[in-house]
A and B are shown apart, each in its own frame.
Chain A
Amino acid sequence: KNQVEQSPQSLIILEGKNCTLQCNYTVSPFSNLRWYKQDTGRGPVSLTIMTFSENTKSNGRYTATLDADTKQSSLHITASQLSDSASYICVVKNSGTYKYIFGTGTRLKVLA
């Protein structure tokens, strides 16, 4: 069954600290994996897209990793800021159906 599971469900960290969010998937066949940031009351905004051959991709303070063998991805946020408070959603595209499978997200709260 095509599934995307994220952990933790929620996370609270202090401003300036680093954190890592996890994503495990069982989607097959795999096309690509994306991380999105969703602020409250807004639509998701793309952070990174990774294909099968990519292990790491950075976007500013966000660094995503992908291990296609173990079907795991992580999103590392460096030197967190208050504006990082949001939900982070892992999305995997199935190359057979062309459908996107969404994780339930990790709700991050950054405190001053």
Chain B
Amino acid sequence: SAVISQKPSRDICQRGTSLTIQCQVDSQVTMMFWYRQQPGQSLTLIATANQGSEATYESGFVIDKFPISRPNLTFSTLTVSNMSPEDSSIYLCSVEPGVNEKLFFGSGTQLSVL
């Protein structure tokens, strides 16, 4: 199993600013995933964060907008850069400790951009 501490839990930000979201896992995991959940929508994968290499981004998401750090096997950050109201969403980190194990999620960051 895995316990993920994600923060902040929520924030209200001004347009044009950046917010960094942190996730700390209580065990070492190879890959961490970052998702976005817009209101009334399903979870959409932003990128996969690999320790020791650059993150792998999904179509529609770019590193300049969502830079990711993965300094070790228990920690990752996602930055939402140059925010606009369209970035208002819930952002979630997730890990899969073993193949075909459960996906464990952080508690989410509710972001509102004014």
Find the B residue at minimum CB distance from A6.
B42
Cβ of B26 to closest chain A Cβ, rounded Å: 15
In contact, A41 and B102 (Cβ under 8 angstroms): no
Chain A: residues with Cβ within 8 Å of the partner, total of 22
A45 is an interface residue with CB less than 8 A from chain B: yes
**How long is the Cα–Cα vector from A42 to B108 in the complex, in angstroms?**
6
In contact, A43 and B105 (Cβ under 8 angstroms): yes
**How long is the Cα–Cα vector from A56 to B41 in the complex, in angstroms?**
27
In contact, A43 and B42 (Cβ under 8 angstroms): no
Give the contacts of A26-42 with B (CB-CB under 8 A). 31-32, 34, 36, 41-42
Set A4, A31, A36, A91: member contacting B100, Cβ < 8 A: A31
**How long is the Cα–Cα vector from A45 to B107 in the complex, in angstroms?**
10
**How long is the Cα–Cα vector from A30 to B47 in the complex, in angstroms?**
21
In contact, A41 and B42 (Cβ under 8 angstroms): no
A99 is an interface residue with CB less than 8 A from chain B: yes
**How long is the Cα–Cα vector from A44 to B6 in the complex, in angstroms?**
13
Set A31, A44, A104: member contacting B105, Cβ < 8 A: A44
Cβ of B97 to closest chain A Cβ, rounded Å: 12
B110 is an interface residue with CB less than 8 A from chain A: yes
Set A32, A34, A43, A89: member contacting B6, Cβ < 8 A: A43
Find the A residue at minimum CB distance from B93.
A43
Interchain residue pairs with CB less than 8 A apart (22): A34-B102, A41-B107, A41-B108, A42-B107, A43-B92, A43-B94, A43-B105, A43-B106, A43-B108, A44-B43, A44-B103, A44-B105, A45-B105, A49-B101, A89-B42, A91-B103, A99-B45, A100-B43, A100-B45, A100-B103, A102-B43, A104-B41
